Chain A
Amino acid sequence: MGEAFSNVKDQIGFCGIWCGSCAGGNGSIAELATRLDKMVKGYGLEKWLPRQFDFKEFMSGLACIQANGVCRGCRNGGGPPTCKVRICALQKGLADCSQCSQLLECKNFEQLEKSYPSIKADLAKIASADRGELVDKWLSELKTKWPHCVLFCSSTEK
């Protein structure tokens, strides 16, 4: 378990999304980029690979993904800076959006609902639950989920 994951592990966003389940924030994308990078370099594939793409740019792109700073998590100023949900919740001083009386008609969730239609219902479900227990439960599920499982196994296993 890397630094990125331990940073976001205990945070649940105002919208109800667990920061630990974000592939970008929990470090799993960076971990995969590191493994691919090592493999390409270790095998000296520069000599072998097809020439249809710029190898140097490709490798620097991989390096950029790995070098991306560790996400601080939604509760500590990480995540997408323009997220309307977070800005609104912070302004209202809410612990999370489930406390808001306007949740059902809230338009700030539109973007999130496109990829996660049941987000509001799920948020209402977790509102009264114990956060520590939730994180423990999700963590055990996460270990078997792609791509997050790469955080819990060595490169030889996956």
Chain B
Amino acid sequence: MTAETFLTGSLCLNCSGPSIVFLVYLPDGTKTVARARSSHQSRCVVRAVESVKVKEARRNEVAYCGCYCRNCHWYSDALRKPAAQLLGLVKANFEVAGWIKEKGGSSTETIKGLEILSKSACAFNCNGGSGWTGCPVRKCCTEKSIDFCFECADFPCDN
């Protein structure tokens, strides 16, 4: 059985690249076309699945009110990182705890706060339940079961 690879004129549905099919010559002299799992196509399928996931995640990163989660320093590393860095320095330089006590502050509470900040981040995005727990906008949107405020007839409202 011999097989000959060639490019057909059709395009891949996933990536618009050339689609690869195998032309298979069977022992009885007839030939048939087989769509094989070429490396191109398996890569392409993975990419397509990923892009759907990414699109879903990106959509969830926009809150009901329209705020974009990635702009928030609590969602990104922008808050966690400096807190962790400062925590490391406060621990390494024991005199810093002395400064706080000298000025009448509580060094244990400050270190505890830094520890929590350096670990905590917005675990999920707003749609996933993180963020400001008392947010009236989110409460209203979940009650009305809409994804974004602009879908609401009352938009813009006082919330």
A147 to B85, CA, bound (A): 8
Docked complex: A47-90 residues within 8 A CB-CB of B: 47-50, 52-55, 57-58, 60-65, 67-68, 80
Instruction: Chain B residues near A28: list those with CB within 8 A.
Output: 89
Given contacts A47-B132, A60-B105, A65-B100, contact A29 B79 (CB under 8 A): no
A33 contacts chain B at the CB level, 8 A cutoff: yes
Instruction: Chain A residues near B103: list those with CB within 8 A.
Output: 63-64, 67-68
Instruction: Chain A residues near B114: list those with CB within 8 A.
Output: 58
Given contacts A29-B90, A65-B100, contact A49 B107 (CB under 8 A): no
B110 near A36 (CB under 8 angstroms)? no
A36 near B93 (CB under 8 angstroms)? no
A65 near B96 (CB under 8 angstroms)? yes
User: Residues of B within 8 Å of A, CB-based: how many?
Assistant: 35
A24 near B95 (CB under 8 angstroms)? yes
A58 to B90, CA, bound (A): 13
Closest Cβ of chain B to A39, distance in Å, is 6
B105 near A39 (CB under 8 angstroms)? no
A68 to B134, CA, bound (A): 36
B83 contacts chain A at the CB level, 8 A cutoff: yes
Query: Looking at the complex, which of B8-16, B52-60, B70-78 is the stretch in contact with chain A?
Result: B70-78
The proximity string for A residues 31-49 relative to B, scoring 1 for CB distances below 8 Å and 0 otherwise, is: 0110110011001010111
Given contacts A29-B90, A57-B105, contact A65 B99 (CB under 8 A): yes
A64 near B73 (CB under 8 angstroms)? no
A29 near B93 (CB under 8 angstroms)? yes
A23 contacts chain B at the CB level, 8 A cutoff: yes
A33 to B113, CA, bound (A): 13
A24 to B106, CA, bound (A): 18
Closest Cβ of chain A to B45, distance in Å, is 40
Given contacts A58-B109, A61-B113, contact A29 B96 (CB under 8 A): yes
Closest Cβ of chain A to B154, distance in Å, is 24
Given contacts A32-B89, A57-B106, A61-B105, contact A49 B100 (CB under 8 A): no
A39 near B82 (CB under 8 angstroms)? yes
A54 to B132, CA, bound (A): 18
Instruction: Chain A residues near B106: list those with CB within 8 A.
Output: 54, 57, 60-61
Told that A39-B73, A57-B106 touch, could you supply 8 new A-B pairs with CB distance under 8 A? Answer: A48-B74, A58-B113, A60-B106, A63-B105, A64-B99, A64-B110, A65-B90, A146-B85
Can you list 9 A-B pairs with a CB-CB distance of less than 8 A?
A32-B82, A36-B79, A36-B82, A53-B109, A57-B109, A61-B100, A61-B106, A64-B102, A64-B104
Chain A residues packing against B (C-beta within 8 Å): 23-24, 28-29, 32-33, 35-36, 39-40, 43, 45, 47-50, 52-55, 57-58, 60-65, 67-68, 80, 146-147
